[in-house]
Amino acid sequence: FERSGLAIPRSTLAQWVGACGVQLQPLVDALRTVLLDCKVLHADETPVAMLAPGKGKTHRAYVWTYGSSEHDSLKAVIYEFVESRSGSHARAFLEGWKGTLVCDDFSGYKALFAQGVTEAGCLAHARRKFHELWANHQSTIGERALRFFIQLYEIEREVRELDALQRKRIRQQRARPVADALHLWLTEQRKKVPEGSATIKAIDYSLGRWQALTRYIDDGELPADNN
């Protein structure tokens, strides 16, 4: 509009955007119905700055993302803009769904697991904490942990195009020993590191949700992370 020389009031543009949203809502609703037929879904929430009407400043809102798995024939994502990070938004979107949700450790998802949804952790979130230790503090623990994650991800690259049964078999044969070794090593390092440190937080993140983080090894339908 600016290039054409047309002066369109912001209020008019807002009305047009709102009208488009109303017209597209049936399509979003239909896509949500199809998405909730999936056995495995991803979820994440990203902060965005929202301009408060009439106040001239912004506050934090969120775009919640729900998507199908990379191993699903359906390739679909729904973005939902809301003004808070309350877990009630995820519960409303996933109401009645009982599949496996791949997500980080955000507390807003916890009520879903109490209602029958199965939790699958995101390996990338666990890895990221050790990468930050290595990149920011040259941590030897961070570096050593990354070597374990490299092995796990090398296996994932090899099995990505296989079917679920083959993927599960290879993961159990090759990824399970690596994961077990990582768990044992983290448990031992946990005893040596001072409380309250960044290293402890990285270790506790993984140990505290180990079952969720390694659930993918025994289920070929699950991805290893949210990436």
Query: What pLDDT shows up at residue 1?
Result: 46
Query: What pLDDT shows up at residue 6?
Result: 63
* Dihedral of alpha carbons 170, 164, 222, 215, sign: negative
The overall average pLDDT reported for the chain is: 93
Looking from the CA of 219 toward its CB, the CA atoms found within 13 Å total 22
Query: What pLDDT shows up at residue 4?
Result: 55
Q: Give residue 111's identity as a one-letter amino acid code.
A: A
146 is written with which tokens? 């990354």
* pLDDT tens per residue across span 143-180: 999 999 999 999 999 999 999 999 999 999 999 999 99
* pLDDT tens per residue across span 183-217: 999 999 999 998 989 999 999 999 999 999 999 99
* pLDDT tens per residue across span 97-152: 999 999 999 999 999 999 999 999 999 999 999 999 999 999 999 999 999 999 99
* pLDDT tens per residue across span 59-86: 899 999 999 999 999 999 999 999 999 9
Quick one: angle between helices 123-137 and 140-159, nearest 10? 140
H/E element holding 33?
helix 10-35
**Tokens 């505290």 -> residue:** 208
Query: What pLDDT shows up at residue 36?
Result: 97
93 is written with which tokens? 């979107």
